[in-house]
Amino acid sequence: MSGLRERQKAQRRQAISQAAVQLFELQGFQNTTIEQIASQAGVSAPTVFKYFGSKQEILLEMLQEADERALRDTRRLIPDIEDPVDTLCHLEKLLTGYSLEVLPASLWRELLPLILSGGDTGLPQRYRVMNDALRGAIADLLLDLQKAGKLRADLDVDLTAFLLNDYSHLQLLRLVSQDKPDIESHSLQVRRVTTLLFHGMRI
């Protein structure tokens, strides 16, 4: 019986998330209320608050799950990838791809300026906490590559993770600003810069 209840809770949580994204895309994140999300999902507003503390939390949970999935999928491939550039380009490709799976480009166009420039939505502060965790996970991945002898021993993995994460946000903003996001050109540009970072400035 408890298994059925857990499945029902998971289904309700997913229904709320899907309803929220539909409304965010249709009328914008800032213009969407919890009451509208509840109506779209066929539940009450208190039910939405039972599962999510705010509409920001709905977004952040989806993004966190996408980030964690990208990191897991990349880590599984590390033993089979020799060049760290390939590993990091693969990670960035998954981070971008999974982010666009859970939130459409049109919604990212609204959210990224809010996230990057601040404001009173509460989103920048909460996103920053989540992004700090992502940057730490990227640093851990770099550390594993370093221990495997694929990166030089004196590499500052925290600074490198910061640079890669910061650059990834900039490229995502450029990508979603296009009417039709060109994933192939985006991936090529990321590879060029990542290659420069790891190989292009060596003596």
Domain positions in the chain are 1-53, 54-200
Q: Give the pLDDT confidence score for residue 175 in this predicted structure.
A: 93
Q: What SS3 state is found at 181? A: coil
Looking at residue 4, its pLDDT comes to: 78
Question: Residue 105 contacts by C-beta under 8 Å, 6 or more apart in sequence?
Answer: 175, 176, 178, 181
Q: What is the pLDDT of residues 69-101, one digit of tens each?
A: 999 999 998 888 889 999 999 999 999 999 999
Kindly state the average pLDDT of the residues 15-20: 94
The amino acid that residue 74 corresponds to is T
Residue 201 has what pLDDT?
58
Fold match between 1-53 and 54-200?
Answer: no
Summarize the confidence of residues 56-60 as an average pLDDT.
91
Q: Please report the pLDDT score of residue 8 as a whole number.
A: 86
Alpha carbon distance 9, 30 (integer Å): 27
Predicted local distance difference test score (pLDDT) of residue 197: 83
Ranking 37-51, 62-76, 167-181 by mean pLDDT, the lowest is 167-181
Torsion of CA 106, 165, 133, 90, to 10 degrees: 80
Q: Which of 129, 110, 103, 108 is nearest to 171 (CA)?
A: 108
Query: What average pLDDT does this structure show over 122-126?
Result: 75
Question: Looking at residue 202, what is its pLDDT?
Answer: 56
- State the amino acid at position 182 in one-letter form: D
The mean predicted confidence, pLDDT, of the chain is 89
- CATH fold of 1-53, please? Arc Repressor Mutant, subunit A (1.10.10)
Mean pLDDT of 129-151: 92
**Helix segments in the chain, DSSP class H:** 2-27, 34-41, 45-51, 55-77, 84-102, 105-117, 123-147, 157-176, 183-195
Per-residue pLDDT, 113: 84
Joined together, the tokens standing for residue 148 give: 């495997």
Whole-model pTM: value is 0.86
pLDDT band of 120, cuts 50, 70, 90: low
Taking the C-alpha atoms of residue 16 and residue 22, their distance in angstroms, rounded to an integer, is 10
Q: In the predicted model, is pLDDT for residue 203 greater than 50? A: no
pLDDT reading at 134 higher than 60: yes
**pLDDT at residue number 187:** 93
Question: Residue 3 — very low, low, confident or very high, per pLDDT cuts 50/70/90?
Answer: confident
Q: What is the pLDDT of residue 118?
A: 61
Q: How many angstroms separate the Cα of 157 from the Cα of each of 56, 69, 129, 163, 183?
A: 30, 21, 19, 10, 27
Fold classification of 54-200 is Tetracycline Repressor; domain 2 (1.10.357)
pLDDT of residue 126: 83
